[in-house]
Structure 1
Amino acid sequence: MKTMQNIARLAATAILCAAGALAGTAVAKDFKYAIGQPPGSYNEKMGQEYAKRVKQHTNGRHSVRVYPMTLLNMAETSAGVRDGIADIGFLLTPYFPAEYPHTNLISEASMMLRLMGDEVRGKEASAFVGAISEFIFFNCPECHQEFAKQNSVYTGHIGGSSYGLICTKPIKSEADLKGKRLRAGAANWSRWATAVGATPITMSANEMREALAQGVVDCAILSTPEIHNFGLMEAIKDITMAIPGGIFTTAGFNMNTKAWQGLSVDDRKAFLRASAEGGAYTPWIYQQKENELIEEAKKKGVRLHDADPALVKKTQAFIEQDMNTISKYFAEKHGVKRGDEMLATFRPILTKWVKLVQPVTSMEQLGDLYWKEIYSKVDVARHGQ
């Protein structure tokens, strides 16, 4: 009799374990998070903030270990998450134009910020990160299909402050740009470089310092906080921030599909909350640090330049034209079929976010705003399934 009872108990336990697995009630796990930026960079610190929030919101069931520039570099992150080398990856989608064309169309529309007036100045990152995250979660099924093809699940964007020219020589006018080699991290800045007579150079951000120091490139198109992140201070001599504008965005917490589906519904919600709150670190800190880095550079002898009004005007004209041609570019290069519709949907979302971030005065408020307006509305029972 006892033998039969023991067998019954074992069978019941097995059934409960199987049911738990099907429901996604995974055992505690230490998730590997690959960030292709070095230790001490702002995004490595963002990763630590995200990890803290994951532990908090899962009540300690799960933890995240951050691997800055050790597990995967930037060029390896997409395939590394796909193949399960990392559970979560800091994914720079513009590095992979063929894999993420719909996502990149919106990402590369960031120069649109220059057309939105003074209200957005100094809040570009907060507004655009909110807008692109909302758009991809709820208005871009093609984007989710792109991630799914790479065996990953989209869990939100992050992004930094406005882009300018970080150089080894003075750039003030269009004449100064003629023939100059500009490292461009995405196609929109490559198109701008060509339009002003410069030569765009494609390379990983991990290669920028050496390229600037050895004269392989004359400038990098970057935000000033990246001077700190990539140790560029000793390699640069001149900064011109009035051009070209736009920001760089990253799918900051891209998760391997198996890792995501192994989470319970409650834990998926907890990871998204960590994305909202921890991910607010990057746009917030970049906005706080951009002027600080300029002042530090000036103290070290780096010259700060204003751009010639004619060059600013030409840049503005390029942006207006590029907003009309970007969908055609992505249709021809990458087969994106509804680019015009996507941009038409995205623009009012961005306008809304420019207004939403105006009263925000802290990283915590920004994270709460992202959670309330975007991440809390994701149907985690269906997302990524």
Structure 2
Amino acid sequence: MFQLKQLAGVTLAALLGAGTLGAAQAEAQQLRYAMGFPPGSDSDVAAKKYAETLSELTNGELSVRVFALSLLNFAETPSGVRDGIADIGYVLTPYFPQQFPHMNLAAEASMALHLQDESVKGREGYAYVGAMAEFVLLNCPECQDEMKQQNQVMTSNAGSTQYGLTCTKKVTTVEDLRGTRLRVAGSHWSRWAQEFGASPVTLSSNEAAEALSQGVVDCVVISAPELTNLGLFEHVSDITMAIPGGIFAGTATANVNRETWQGLSEEHRTAMLKAGSVLAAEIPFIYHSREAAVLQRIQDEQGAKLHEPSPELMAGVVAFVEKDLNDMADYYQKERGVERSHEMMEQFLQILARWVDLVQDVETAEDLSDLYWQEVYSKVDVNTHGMN
């Protein structure tokens, strides 16, 4: 059973209990939650946990029906949430660079994980998700403004494990990369590909398997668990997970339609944020828990080969990251209208370093959700967040 934690001298249980007593005759409300991942995927599993948590926190007054790749796909989700087709949506912000430039600046700095010390290994998603939540929800009013422009309210985020090369051929050297066609999911990975003479191809996650199977691309830059989540498993023969690195962090996992959010009580908005902290933890925890098993399975069942990049290529990747973080800030300022880009980049990298330390003692998904709640989500003021 989900345990409620004390919040600022007043327990969340008391807040929710008072709301329940004061509205004993209130009708239950079901919210429609759309995501582009298919049924049974890791994110679908996490979404069901989110729905269960929200129902428990509100004594059934709020429930969530999860539509996994049935109501809206990834390309349709932001407009679908904006227009009220779904009450909640799983929004991948890098797919929409014009609409979410401020959040994407931080999300696409994820290759900075190469510059952290070894303690981040195996905890990349934990740290980056916490840093993104703290930055976007507590330190980036511009991020909230761009959500408002899309008629949405951010209530949760998430991230993956490290992104690597999952390919139909061996890619371990600078020479191997030249001319290779890579499906990428962010401009930072596009720049990385171009730096080494590869050709980046931008496709939705829902199109990646077909592109790989038909030879449209040679590799998909993706995290290991997505090999099963996105149906890539049988098409991949060679994997180099150490490069390009970084994670997919432009994930607003539970963006709520603004009218839906404003129609909720204070207690229910608090409960949605609490459930959001659980969702934020469930996804990276599941991904990290499954990564090694997926890589072992693809070797055993498909005969795929795992590789390490050459020292020359690895050194080149690190050098690229050190230069690209500054170039990225310049690009977002000039091309995306992010006026504070350099200031924001510096602030975010400081937050990230703090989160690398914070997640060192995390052992369970509940540890992680408690940490996210205490450090970030409980500090969001539900009386102002998304209310104007």
TM, length-normalised to structure 1: 0.93
Amino acid at match of 1:279: A
What residue is the counterpart of 1:342 in the other structure? 344
What residue is the counterpart of 2:256 in the other structure? 255
The reply on whether 1:264 has 2:265 as its aligned counterpart is yes
Secondary structure of the structure 2 residue equivalent to 1:90: strand
Deviations 1:238-257 (A, max 9, x none): 10011111000200001100
Q: Is the 2:258–2:386 contact (alpha carbons within 8 Å) kept by the matching residues of 1?
A: yes
Counterpart CA distance in 2 for 1:208 and 1:223 is: 13
The reply on whether 1:57 has 2:57 as its aligned counterpart is yes
Deviations 1:109-157 (A, max 9, x none): 1111110010100000000000100111111000000000000011121
Deviations 1:1-50 (A, max 9, x none): xxxxxxxxxxxxxxxxxxxxxx9x98421100001011111001111011
Counterpart CA distance in 2 for 1:345 and 1:173 is: 34
Q: Is the 2:82–2:257 contact (alpha carbons within 8 Å) kept by the matching residues of 1?
A: yes
Counterpart CA distance in 2 for 1:78 and 1:307 is: 37
Task: Compute the displacement of 1:319 (Å).
Answer: 0.5
What residue is the counterpart of 2:134 in the other structure? 134
Counterpart CA distance in 2 for 1:26 and 1:331 is: 48
Q: Is the 2:156–2:279 contact (alpha carbons within 8 Å) kept by the matching residues of 1?
A: no
What residue is the counterpart of 1:292 in the other structure? 293
What residue is the counterpart of 2:223 in the other structure? 223
Please list every run of 5 or more consecutive structure 1 residues that lacks an aligned counterpart in the other structure. 1-22
Q: 1:39-78, aligned counterparts within 5 Å? A: 39-78=39-78
Q: Is the 1:53–1:278 contact (alpha carbons within 8 Å) kept by the matching residues of 2?
A: no
Secondary structure of the structure 1 residue equivalent to 2:361: coil
Q: 1:226-237, aligned counterparts within 5 Å? A: 226-237=226-237
Task: Compute the displacement of 1:344 (Å).
Answer: 1.2
What residue is the counterpart of 2:239 in the other structure? 239
Please list every run of 5 or more consecutive structure 2 residues that lacks an aligned counterpart in the other structure. 1-22
What residue is the counterpart of 1:80 in the other structure? 80
What residue is the counterpart of 2:189 in the other structure? 189
What residue is the counterpart of 1:200 in the other structure? 200
Counterpart CA distance in 1 for 2:117 and 2:102 is: 26
Deviations 1:264-316 (A, max 9, x none): 00110000000101321111011111111111111120011111110001111
How many aligned positions are there? 362
What residue is the counterpart of 1:277 in the other structure? 278
Q: Is the 1:184–1:190 contact (alpha carbons within 8 Å) kept by the matching residues of 2?
A: yes
Deviations 1:325-347 (A, max 9, x none): 11111112211111111011111
Q: 1:10-29, aligned counterparts within 5 Å? A: 27-29=27-29
Counterpart CA distance in 1 for 2:216 and 2:224 is: 20
Amino acid at match of 1:213: S
Counterpart CA distance in 1 for 2:286 and 2:298 is: 18
Q: Is the 2:26–2:61 contact (alpha carbons within 8 Å) kept by the matching residues of 1?
A: no
What is the alpha-carbon root mean square deviation over aligned residues?
1.2
What residue is the counterpart of 1:363 in the other structure? 365
Secondary structure of the structure 2 residue equivalent to 1:383: coil
Between 1:211-220 and 1:27-36, the stretch displaced more is: 27-36
Counterpart CA distance in 2 for 1:242 and 1:137 is: 30
What residue is the counterpart of 1:103 in the other structure? 103
Moved over 4 A (4+): none
Secondary structure of the structure 1 residue equivalent to 2:85: coil
What residue is the counterpart of 1:13 in the other structure? none
Q: Percent identity?
A: 50
Q: Is the 1:26–1:264 contact (alpha carbons within 8 Å) kept by the matching residues of 2?
A: no
Amino acid at match of 2:297: E
Q: Is the 1:125–1:283 contact (alpha carbons within 8 Å) kept by the matching residues of 2?
A: yes
Secondary structure of the structure 1 residue equivalent to 2:243: coil
Task: Compute the displacement of 1:180 (Å).
Answer: 0.7
Counterpart CA distance in 2 for 1:96 and 1:286 is: 24
Counterpart CA distance in 1 for 2:202 and 2:27 is: 42
Secondary structure of the structure 2 residue equivalent to 1:357: helix
Amino acid at match of 2:154: Y
Q: Is the 1:42–1:285 contact (alpha carbons within 8 Å) kept by the matching residues of 2?
A: yes
Q: Is the 1:178–1:198 contact (alpha carbons within 8 Å) kept by the matching residues of 2?
A: yes
Amino acid at match of 2:340: R
Counterpart CA distance in 1 for 2:243 and 2:386 is: 38
Q: Is the 1:55–1:63 contact (alpha carbons within 8 Å) kept by the matching residues of 2?
A: yes
Task: Compute the displacement of 1:361 (Å).
Answer: 0.3
What residue is the counterpart of 1:116 in the other structure? 116
Counterpart CA distance in 2 for 1:37 and 1:86 is: 15
